[in-house]
């Protein structure tokens, strides 16, 4: 009997790692500027509208479901879940919105999340309050927080303004709940996470790779994301989103 127990236990230990690795992997992509590169800033933080449209068309044609964080629970019930996120709230993100509108049909409803810096709203080259209201009411774009002033949160002593006030300001503009935070530069630590949990349900880093449920503490506040860059080819994009 003891030998049988040990054999069964050994078999279970062999199977468990496979079960873990078989868990669904969900890509969370991060973009910044959707525009032609104009020579200002880092070229790799741009994706041309033409390339962005090709990438979104690929997702449409291959059966992906684009989600926002309000629909996080759907990752286990939809076909090929994926999140498309945009950091910093640049005005040129309206190009992305127009492309998502263009690709929308009865079988494909592409959605994205714009993480905006609340104190930068309305500045030159940034989305305005009216832009944010329009986007939030479109049903295609979720407006979430990228803090108030975009500091490295691991170096800020009082996080209340960056976390709470940005959330409040964005909610007042859009009339929609703000439940997700993208950490500036992807930087976080245990203290930042503890404070973030007071106001948000999700925290996003720039740690590369798809999300896979592991059960470790606070994993929804260490969500990984995959950069899509100016130099990302369609072939590379396909490899990134194919996580099976």
* Domain CATH number, residue 38: 3.20.20.370
User: Does 67 fall in a domain?
Assistant: yes
Closest to 78 measured CA to CA, from 88, 68, 90, 89:
68
User: Does 227 fall in a domain?
Assistant: yes
Report whether pLDDT(19) > 90. Answer: no
Which residues are CB-neighbours of 185 under 8 A, at least 6 positions away?
A: 152, 206
Q: For residues 95 and 235, what is the distance between their CA atoms, to the nearest angstrom?
A: 22
Confidence class of residue 17 from pLDDT cuts 50, 70 and 90? very low
* Residue 101 main-chain phi, psi, to 5 deg: -60, -45
Number of domains in the chain: 1
User: Does 193 fall in a domain?
Assistant: yes
User: Does 1 fall in a domain?
Assistant: no
Give the H or E element holding residue 236: helix 234-241
Report whether pLDDT(5) > 60. Answer: no
User: Does 92 fall in a domain?
Assistant: yes
Expressed in angstroms, the distance from the first to the final Cα of the chain is 39
User: Does 16 fall in a domain?
Assistant: no
User: Does 217 fall in a domain?
Assistant: yes
| pLDDT for res 16 | 39
User: Does 2 fall in a domain?
Assistant: no
| pLDDT for res 163 | 98
pLDDT, one tens digit per residue, over 189-244 is 999 999 999 999 999 999 999 999 999 999 999 999 999 999 999 999 999 999 87
Which residues are CB-neighbours of 163 under 8 A, at least 6 positions away?
A: 145, 147, 181, 195, 196, 198, 199, 200
CB 203 within 8 A of CB 7: no
| pLDDT for res 24 | 85
Confidence class of residue 185 from pLDDT cuts 50, 70 and 90? very high
| pLDDT for res 2 | 39
Which residues are CB-neighbours of 207 under 8 A, at least 6 positions away?
A: 186, 222, 224, 225
Q: Is 107 helix (H, G, I), strand (E, B) or coil?
A: coil
Confidence class of residue 29 from pLDDT cuts 50, 70 and 90? very high
Q: Is 145 helix (H, G, I), strand (E, B) or coil?
A: strand
CB 156 within 8 A of CB 191: no
Return the minimum-mean-pLDDT range out of 22-26, 36-40, 85-89: 22-26
| pLDDT for res 175 | 98
Mean pLDDT of all residues in 64-77: 97
Mean pLDDT of all residues in 31-36: 98
DSSP 27-94: -EEEE-EES---SSS-GGGEE-HHHHHHHHHHHHHTT-EEE-GGGGGGGGTSSSEEEEEEEE-BTTHH
Q: For residues 138 and 101, what is the distance between their CA atoms, to the nearest angstrom?
A: 9
Mean pLDDT of all residues in 123-144: 98
| pLDDT for res 51 | 98
Q: For residues 210 and 240, what is the distance between their CA atoms, to the nearest angstrom?
A: 9
Mean pLDDT of all residues in 98-112: 97
Q: Residue 80: which domain range? A: 24-241
């Amino acid at each position: 009997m003891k030998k049988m127990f040990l054999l069964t236990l050994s078999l279970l230990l062999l199977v468990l790692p496979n079960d873990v690795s078989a868990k669904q992997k969900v890509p969370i992509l991060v973009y910044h500027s959707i525009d032609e590169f104009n020579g200002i800033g880092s070229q790799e933080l741009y994706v041309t509208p033409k390339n962005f449209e090709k990438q979104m068309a690929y997702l449409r044609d291959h059966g992906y479901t684009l989600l926002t964080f309000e629909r996080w629970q759907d990752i286990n019930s939809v076909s090929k879940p994926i999140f498309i996120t945009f950091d910093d709230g640049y005005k040129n993100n309206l190009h992305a919105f127009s492309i998502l509108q263009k690709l929308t049909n009865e079988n494909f409803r592409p959605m994205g999340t714009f993480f905006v810096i609340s104190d930068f709203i309305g500045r030159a080259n940034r989305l305005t309050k009216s832009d944010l209201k329009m986007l939030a009411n479109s049903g295609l774009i979720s407006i979430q927080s990228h803090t108030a002033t975009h500091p490295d949160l691991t170096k800020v002593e009082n996080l209340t303004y960056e976390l709470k006030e940005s959330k409040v300001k964005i909610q007042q503009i859009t009339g929609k709940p703000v439940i997700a935070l993208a950490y500036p530069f992807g930087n976080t630590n245990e203290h930042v996470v503890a404070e973030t949990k007071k106001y948000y349900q999700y925290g996003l880093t720039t740690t590369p790779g798809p999300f896979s449920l592991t059960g470790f503490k606070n994993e929804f506040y260490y969500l990984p994301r995959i950069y899509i860059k100016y130099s990302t080819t369609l072939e590379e994009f396909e490899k990134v989103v194919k996580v099976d």
